[in-house]
Amino acid sequence: MSLSNIISTSLSGLFVNQSAMKVTSNNIANVNTPNYARSVIEQKALVTQGQSAGVGIANISAVIDEFLSTAYRKAQSNTSEFSAQREFHDRLQGVLGDPAADSSLSARMDQIFQSVADLSLNPADVLRRQQSLSETQSFLDQLKLFHSEVQNLRGEASQQISETVDAINEQLQRINDLNPLLVKQKALGQDTGGVEGQMSDALATLASYIDIRVDKQPTGALYISTASGYPLVDTTLSQLKYNAPGIVGAGTVFPPITVSRVDKDTLEAISSVTDLSAHIQSGRLAGLLDMRDNQLTELSVSLGELAAHVADEFNAIQNEYSAAPPPNSLTGKQTLVDGSYATNFTGVVTFAVVDGDNELVATTTVDFDSSPPADFDALVAQVNAGLGGNGTLSLVDGVMSLTATNASNGVVIANDPDTPSDRAGRTFSHFFGMNDLITSDVPGIYETGLDGTEAHGMGSGETIQFKLTDASGREVTTVTVPVTGTTYNDMIGALNNLSTGLGAYGSFALDSSTGALSWSANSNYSSIKLEVTSDTTQIANTGLSFTAAFGVGDQYRVNAARNINIVEAIAEDPDLLALSVFDLSGSVGDIVLTNGDQRGALALQALETTLVGFSDAGELKASNVTLTQYVSRFLGNAGLQASRASNFEEDNMALLQEIGQRNSDVSGVNLDEELANLVIYQNAYNAAARILSSVQELYDSLLAAV
């Protein structure tokens, strides 16, 4: 071997070991850098024309176990998903408070019944009446607070979704910018460890936001897609988009998270927009979506179910009894009935006028069983004739009212104790809400009593638009149904039409006994969710749209808790609390009401043990339980959701740490190993330098001998 070859060989050793020491030093410097994968240098023998030409660098790359890296990113996604949920549940539990505390919802319900029990001992005591009303209002205030906080949390989840989308876009841009550097470094045979370290950090951050799949290309570039395979970064860059609504309520229809390919320089869309919802399977984004659309929504539905039945049960008692003396007028709530409709009532009900001394002025009885009025117009005429000008019953645009002619007199509606009036499970006064104790924006219970043959009173050109989404939140279709025919049955038929309605996905049905409208999805679409995006209909002059009248969509069940209060007139005058029983046997001039009657208070007290039929609401299944038991079930379900999110977070965190440790054992920096390598490379460098020095001495000797 010539001296020139020896010089070349020794120089190659110097250069290679210098690079190796640089790689090793870089590893040591990044020993505490998160997501850093150590780099290694692979050497190769250089051979020229069959002779050794020294040593060269075959490759400098990061040590990455693809299986562990993939598992680590998956664990990151799952952990972030449940961490997001746990954060929201922690805040919700802070609002709900300790179930054992005196300020809890269950404790406030108990306080209502304690105050009512005290009231039954002396029903005429105005202070006890005020206490009962105050405890009831405190409970209702808690319902309103929880409703408001749940909607606020849904709004915050929506805002955090927007922020997470921005963070995802930032990481996608970062990965897209790093790919050309990786390709360049690999093509030049240079150290890719630094760039791969940045790429690893970007991937870890991105995986915490959304589940991803990483495909390494032969060029060294990384192609990124969702776990389901939707491309995010390949030869082009994709960007997500989400416009968070400013104000969020139960009826808010959230826009989808969309994705499109964009120009790498301007970030302007260069492809059509695609709904990404079905491709979001885990990560913080999935956790926020699940909280916004499912868990918080389900809690708000069960809260609305509770509020609706609390109001309905207390109103049933208030309408069954009377104040003593009674109010001058009773005005009901909005219903769908019209004067031309058949009454569809059974049983016997009495309408009476009583003076300020609780003495009977006039009375008339309607027997819906033996001699029913032909319709509501006939009923009004019959009652007014029976009262002989002392009182007036009227029905205007679905609102029933009864008013005493003399301002000093009051009115009473009383049922026969053996055969009370009944329509859709409610007495006459209760059905029309003529003497309600509790009021809210919407009833929450939509048992209309209609049989479907009545005219709906809606006009042509009016429409209802529905959006159907699948379990992942992806929009399946949007259907606009025009008003059809003249009866409710005609409209239900239009809704169920296979081609122009929703018949391909499910069906609506009107219960023949209660008049409640229900929706059932077909077996092929069991997980489909129905949302009302717009409704321009109006039923006659009621001011109610079709969907509002029948409570179509979760928003109407949820909003039963939105603005629930004691009726203002009763809150201001506790003497209007109905606790007395009207004496049906009394004659004109007889005292028919007693101020100290305790039977109404005992009926309120009995609600504590009365079984109530609750429907499916969120995660709570249909059941017959007491109001107190349902409060406990609601709080228990909220606690269960919080515990579930916390447990899943802990389990996935433990898995993340385990995989992270194993990944670190493979890819992490071991100082002892790196320092040993540094010594080896330094010695190799010194050896190469010594050979070069020896060759220099040989050259000097040869030159001196010339």
Where do the structural domains in the chain lie, given as residue ranges? 3-63+670-705, 463-550
Note if the bond before 180 is cis, omega within 30 degrees: no
pLDDT at 373: 97
Q: Token digits for 554?
A: 């979760």
CA 223 to chain centre: 33
Give the long-range contacts of residues 118-126, CB within 8 A, separation 24 or more: 119/579, 119/601, 119/604, 120/598, 120/601, 120/602, 120/605, 121/598, 122/596, 123/579, 123/595, 123/596, 123/597, 123/598, 123/600, 123/601, 124/595, 124/596, 126/574, 126/575
CA 8 to chain centre: 71
pLDDT at 551: 95
Buried b (16+ CB within 10 A) or exposed e, 183-219: bebbeeeebbbbbbbbbbbbbbbbbbbbbbbbeeeee
CA dist 198 and 286 (Å) reads 25
Q: Please, how many CA atoms are within 13 Å of residue 392, restricted to the half-sphere of its CB? A: 7
Whose tokens are 């805040």? That residue is 91
pLDDT at 1: 53
pLDDT at 193: 67
- Specify which residues 353 forms β-bridges with: 362, 411
Q: Please, how many CA atoms are within 13 Å of residue 168, restricted to the half-sphere of its CB? A: 32
Are 37 and 200 in contact by the 8 Å Cβ rule? The answer is: yes
Provide the 8-state DSSP code for 382. Answer: H
Helix (H) or strand (E) holding 518: strand 517-521
pLDDT at 50: 67
CA dist 282 and 294 (Å) reads 15
Query: Helix axis angle, 599-606 relative to 296-320, nearest 10°?
Result: 160
The secondary structure of 130-160, three-state, reads HHHHHHHHHHHHHHHHHHHHHHHHHHHHHHH
CA dist 549 and 558 (Å) reads 15
Helices (H), 246-363: 284-290, 296-320
pLDDT at 665: 65
As to burial, measured by CB atoms within 10 angstroms (0-12 exposed, 13-18 middle, 19+ buried), residue 19 is: middle
Closest to 530 measured CA to CA, from 514, 544, 517: 517
Tell me the one-letter amino acid at 112. I
pLDDT at 634: 96
Buried b (16+ CB within 10 A) or exposed e, 102-124: eebbbbbbbbbbebbeebbeebe
pLDDT at 363: 98
SS3 430: helix
Residue 280 phi, psi (nearest 5): -95, 105
Helix (H) or strand (E) holding 46: strand 39-48
- Tell how many helices (H) and how many strands (E) occur in the chain: 16, 23
SS3 230: coil
pTM for the complete prediction?
A: 0.89
Are 511 and 551 in contact by the 8 Å Cβ rule? The answer is: no
pLDDT at 64: 67
The Cβ of residue 430 has, within 10 Å, a number of other Cβ atoms equal to 26
- Non-local (6+) Cβ contacts of 655 within 8 A are 75, 78, 79
- Specify which residues 39 forms β-bridges with: 62
Provide the 8-state DSSP code for 347. Answer: S
Q: Token digits for 2?
A: 């010539």
Closest to 199 measured CA to CA, from 226, 225, 171, 227: 171
Low-confidence ranges of the chain (pLDDT < 50): none
Whose tokens are 């009773």? That residue is 330
Closest to 556 measured CA to CA, from 546, 548, 565, 564: 548
